[in-house]
Structure 1
Amino acid sequence: MFNYIKADLYRLFHKKSNFVFYGVVFALFIAVVIIARTSVEGTTPFAEGYLQLGIILLTQFFPLVFGIQAYVAVYTNDLSANTYQNIFTNGLSKVEFIIGKVITMIVYLLTTFLSGAILYSIMYVILLMIEGGSFDFESFKNLAIVSVTIFLGILGYSTVANILAYFTQNSTISVISMGVLVSGVILQIFNLISLFTDKIEFLREYTLSYHMNEATNGMMPTILGGEASYSASFLAWGVALIYLIVASVIGVVILNKIEIKEGK
C-alpha cells in the first residue's frame, strides 16, 4: 500500500498541469489583492479587510476550485485510465486501495492548503509593513478553524463522491457528483422541498452540506466585527469524519461487489 501511495504522490507532484493550475490561481490572488489595496489606499487600512477576505475565499472559493481540482487530480486518474483491475491484480486489496487514496488526498490537500497559507501570510505581513499595523492573532485563529472545517469537508465530500465513482467507474460522473456536493446543491434541494412540505426537512441535518453551511454562518459575524461561534465548526468536523469513515466502508463494499472493468 505504501508503495502505491508513494507512486501516486510522485505522479501528483510531478504533474506539470497541477503546477500551472496553482500558479495561475495564486497569481490571480496576488493581482486581486494588489488591485483591492490600490482601490482603498488612503481611505482605510486594507490589512484588516484582508483577513476577512481570507474567510470569504476559504468558504466560497476553496471548496469549488481547490476541492474539485484535488479530487480530479487524486481520484480520476485511475478511473479515466481504467486501471482498477491492474491495481488489484498486482496485489493491492480494496481496503488498502481506498485507505491509500484517502491518505494521498490528505497529503495533497494539506500541501495545497499550506502553500496557500504561506502565500496568504506573506501577503499579510507585507500589508502590515506597508500600513504599520499589528498582527491580528484572533483573526488568524478564526482562519485556522475555517481552514480545518473546509479541509475536512472536502475530504468528506470526496469519499461520498467516490461511492458513485466506484459504482459507475466513470470519471465524468464522479467529478459531477463532487461538484454537486461541494457546491451545496443537495442542501438547496432540501431547502426548496421544505417550501412545499416539512416531512423530510429533518433529513437536512444529516447532510454534510448542512453542517458546513452552519459552520460558515457561525464564522461570518467576524467579517462584520462580531464574535464567532465555534460550536458549529466543531460539529462539522465530527460529521465530516463520520462521512469519511462511513463512505470509505461503503466504497469497500461496492468494490467487492461490482465487476471491475478490464484495465488498459
Structure 2
Amino acid sequence: MSNFLDIRRDGHVAIVTMNRPETRNAVSDNDAVDALVAMCDAFNRDHSVRVVVLTGAGTAFSSGGNLKTLRATFGSDSGEPVNARYAYREGIQRLPLALANLEVPVIAAVNGPALGAGNDLACTCDIRIASEKAVFAATFVKLGLIPGDGGAWLLPRAIGASRAAELCFTGDTIDAATAREYGLVSRVVPHDKLLPTALELAHRIAANPGHALRMCKRLLKEAQHARLDTILEMSAGFQALAHHTAEHEAALDGFLSRIKG
C-alpha cells in the first residue's frame, strides 16, 4: 500500500495508523488517498476482518490537506482550472466513496487535531472516540476554500445542519468536549486510554458474526438516504441470508438450550 499506512492485526480487528507525522498525516496527496482506497478494497475482500480502528501517528489525527503541495495539485500551478476538477475527482474525492463502501465498521480513534479533510475523514467513520487532546475544525473557509472532499454532505449528517453550518462558515476549532456535546464523537477519554478504549470496543463488535456486521452496516448507510420501503425490502433480503448461516443456527440453539435448562 505505501508507507502512509501502518496496518497490523489483532484477531478480527485491523488497526490502521496513518503514519506520516511530518505532514501531520495529511490525506490530500495521491499516495495517501491510494493507500486508504487500497486498504478499503483489501478489507472488503478479506472476510476475516470484522472491525477497523483508524488513528494517526504523532500528535495529529490528520491535518487534512497538505498545504505544501496544495497549489501544485489543485491551484494556480496545476494549469487550467479544469485540471483541478480532475485532480479532486481522481484524488481525494475517491476517499469518502471508498470509506462509504467499506463493508466493516470503522472506529476513528482521534488522537489529536482533525482538521479540514481530516475532520471529514473522521466523519466517514462509523464511530468516533476522541482523546482529550483532540480538536476538530472545518478549516476550508479560512483558506478561502470550500469542503471539496464531501464535507458538506458528511458533517451535517454527523452533527446536524445548524451546527455544521456554524463550523463551516466560521472555520472555528472545537475541543473534544464540545465535539462530544455536538455528537461528533461518542466519548472522550484520557489520551493514554484512547487506543485501549477503541480496541476494547472493536473486540466487542468483532465478537459478532462478520456477515451480520457487514450487512448491518450496509443497511445503516443506505438508510441515510433511502425510503423506508426500500430499507424494509433490503432488510428482508439480508435477513433471509442471515437466517441460513451457521452462526445464527448456533446462537439460536444456544438460546433455546438455556431457556429449556
Q: Compute the TM-score of the two structures, normalised by the length of structure 1.
A: 0.27
More strand per residue? 2
Larger RCO (CA within 8 A; separation ≥ 6): 1
